[in-house]
A = this chain, B = another copy of it.
Amino acid sequence: MQGDQEPLGEFDLIDRYFASGRPGASGAPGTPGAQVANRRTDVILGIGDDAALLRCLEGSDLVAAVDTLVAGRHFPEGSAPRSIGHRSLAVNLSDLAAMGATPAWATLALTLPSAERSWLEGFSAGFMELAAAHGVELVGGDTTAGPLTISVQILGQVERGSALRRGGAQPGDVLAVTGTLGDAGAGLALVTGQATAEDRVAAAELIERFEYPMPRVQFGSSARGIASAAMDLSDGLAGDLPKFARASGLAAHVDVGRLPLSGALRSSATVAQAREWALAAGDDYELLVAVPAQRFDELAAVASRLNLTFTAIGDLRRGTGITWALDGQPFAAPARGYDHFR
């Protein structure tokens, strides 16, 4: 019987906990703690060789993104490993969602202080469950010893020429967001003890929004050909909107009173606090979208079919910079969202 702190070879780690069930991969379903992985027919060679061999769809473009999570910075030290596994893939899927792309393959670079069996089981469960939900196969991995750092690269595909970009917005476009904002910020504050909530059900909902963000992949894909630009909200609207507007060479105006706030958030904080989380806290992984005014209803109907709220919060205009208003008066938004090295 082996203990929880069993030393594991680096080849074994990926092989055992992220078992593909492919020939050559020893960690078949049946290995305790192993995930039953998604298996795609366009993966010619998966984990186990020097590199993966993948077959791109004809007539499609390849879409690639990378995102890193560092313990103590992107999630609290001691977070549930299942949440860390989920989030490390979710933040990357969210980038593909913003392009309107369909996810296909991922690679995982996992640096961790020690190979704890229970941690690896939780992490791989969170990662692989979300991968399976989006039809993603893990095709490459690398584990190294060191401070907990997770880099995921996601690869997806999109019909040639149809990808959503940040820079496609036009003056007069409606500015809109999927879902609700600020929940993840509130959830993180609850997890770290910076905030408290009397309503336990609401608190659990907010924490869930931080720990298990749901990337808006289906909405992004359906928005192609309707939306004129899209971006995912990782750093908070106050930090991300300036980048979004600048990419199209436009100014943006936001009516802060229209920011979509969930019932859980409104029942757990003052409106002012809720708006601050919505603007500056980040981690929501909703989509920020520009859409021609005459096509807003069409896109709202897409969201509705996906049981997703879709809210107009302002518009894009000629010029530069962002103006924020509340009840018809100028509003002082937090200066910026989350940024490393500041």
Contacts and interface: CB of A to CB of B under 8 A. Distances in A.
Given A64-B107, A64-B140, A243-B11, A145 B341 contact: yes
Interface string A51-85: 11111101001111111101111100000000000
A7 to B, nearest CB: 6
A114 interface: yes
B51 A64 contact: yes
A24 B107 contact: no
A64 B45 contact: no
A-B pairs, top 9 by smallest CB distance, nearest first, are A51-B65, A50-B98, A70-B146, A151-B151, A109-B151, A56-B56, A66-B107, A54-B62, A147-B147
Given A11-B243, A58-B58, A65-B50, A144 B70 contact: yes
Contacts of A66: 107-109, 140-142, 151, 153
16 contacts: A7-B342, A9-B341, A11-B243, A50-B95, A50-B99, A52-B65, A62-B62, A64-B105, A66-B140, A66-B151, A68-B109, A70-B111, A109-B153, A142-B151, A145-B340, A147-B147
A49 interface: yes
Given A62-B62, A64-B139, A144-B68, A339 B55 contact: no
Interface string A22-36: 001000000000000
Interface stretch (A163-171, A194-202, A204-212, A299-307): A163-171
Interface in A79-110: 95-96, 98-99, 101, 105, 107-109
Nearest to A234: B50
Q: Which of A53, A67, A99 has the most CB of B within 10 A?
A: A53
A232 interface: yes
Contacts of A145: 70, 73, 340-341
Give the contact-size bracket for chain A.
Answer: 35 or more
Given A53-B158, A153-B153, 14 more contacts: A49-B99, A50-B95, A54-B61, A55-B61, A65-B107, A66-B108, A68-B144, A70-B145, A71-B146, A107-B153, A109-B151, A145-B341, A146-B147, A146-B149
| Total copies of the chain | 2
Contacts of A67: 109, 142
Contacts of A58: 58
A143 to B, nearest CB: 6
Interface string A241-264: 001000100000000000000000
Contacts of A55: 61-62, 160
Contact of A53 (B63, B72, B342): B63
A238 interface: no
A155 interface: yes
A326 interface: no
